């Protein structure tokens, strides 16, 4: 099953502007010149690679995305942007299966790494390291859940589309050692009546930031100072 299928059609409406702005800010905060390539692990609909590619012209991009739904939106983005399409290679694989050697100066993994099961994380970090040229930088979110907890329903945003409004919301619950999430997408008509509702659910694995830093070190990275952006901490590791 594609756990992100229901989310893919609404993702850019609710999240693309935020994720693109965040990617640009991260690029500026990390510093350094990108001359070889960019790797996006869990590229989703491509909002991050589009933002980064606009800031770093010419270098090739590799987008790793296993979800068919997300890739459909990603390919639609590429079809509308011939220059980005020329530069972007899409790998329809899970993070623990992709293989690229010494290709990129910059690897990013935003809003994705908590979904990596613990037995795979060490291998994934090593695959990212292999994809970077010496001195290349890996940016990923600091984990914000260190143990499963109840997450009360909250609205993610609402966007007008013609006379309709798309509303996104999320809730979560502990599921053993995992965290269960349900994302709900509701379409309202002009009078506020519900026209449709779709849900997608998946699990993440809580982990402490120190454990992730230790895993990155064991995989051969040098963990550098964190980057703080709008209250969000991003880990920075250099090959």
Per-residue pLDDT reduced to its tens digit, 184-201: 999 999 999 999 999 999
Contact (Cβ atoms closer than 8 angstroms) between residue 223 and residue 137: no
- Contact criterion met (CB below 8 Å) for 36 and 133: yes
Give the H or E element holding residue 101.
none
Query: How much is the pLDDT for 1?
Result: 60
The full DSSP string for 163-218 is TEEEEEEEEEEEETTEEEEEEEEEEE-TTS-EEEEEEEEEEE----HHHHHHHHHH
What's the gap between Cα 49 and its chain centre? Answer: 10
How far, CA to CA in Å, does 194 sit from each of 189, 191, 198? 7, 9, 11
Q: Which DSSP symbol is given to 15?
A: I
Output the tens digit of pLDDT for each of the chain's 239 residues: 677 888 899 999 999 998 899 999 998 988 888 999 999 999 999 999 999 999 998 899 999 999 999 999 999 999 999 999 999 999 999 999 999 999 999 999 998 999 999 999 999 999 999 999 999 999 999 999 999 999 999 999 999 999 999 999 999 999 999 999 999 999 999 999 999 999 999 999 999 999 999 999 999 999 999 999 888 899 999 99
pTM: 0.93
State the residue for tokens 């606009």: 54
Q: How far is CA 94 from CA 123, 188, 228, in A?
A: 12, 34, 28
Q: pLDDT at position 231, please?
A: 81
Distance CA 43, CA 109 (A): 8
Count of residues making up the chain = 239
Tokens encoding 102: 């010494």
């Amino acid at each position: 099953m594609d756990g992100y299928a229901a989310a893919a059609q609404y993702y850019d409406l609710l999240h693309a502007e935020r994720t693109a702005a965040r990617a640009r800010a991260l690029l500026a905060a990390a510093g350094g010149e990108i001359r070889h390539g960019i790797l996006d692990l869990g590229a989703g609909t491509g909002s991050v690679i589009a933002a980064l590619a606009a800031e770093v012209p010419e270098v090739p991009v590799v987008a790793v995305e296993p979800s068919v739904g997300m890739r459909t939106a990603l390919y639609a983005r590429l079809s509308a942007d011939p220059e980005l399409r020329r530069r972007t290679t899409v790998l329809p694989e899970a993070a623990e299966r992709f293989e690229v050697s010494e290709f990129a100066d910059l690897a990013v993994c935003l809003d994705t790494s908590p979904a990596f099961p613990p037995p795979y994380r060490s291998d994934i970090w090593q695959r990212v390291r292999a994809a970077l040229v010496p001195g290349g930088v890996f940016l990923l979110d600091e984990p914000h859940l260190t143990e499963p907890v109840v997450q009360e329903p909250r609205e993610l945003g609402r966007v007008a589309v013609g006379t309709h409004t798309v509303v996104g919301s999320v809730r979560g619950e502990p599921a053993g050692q995992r965290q269960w999430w349900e994302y709900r997408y509701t379409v309202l008509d002009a009078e506020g009546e519900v026209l449709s509702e779709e849900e997608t659910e998946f699990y993440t694995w809580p982990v402490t930031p120190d454990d992730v830093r230790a895993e990155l070190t064991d995989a051969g990275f040098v963990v550098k100072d964190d980057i703080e952006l709008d209250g969000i901490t991003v880990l920075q590791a250099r090959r």
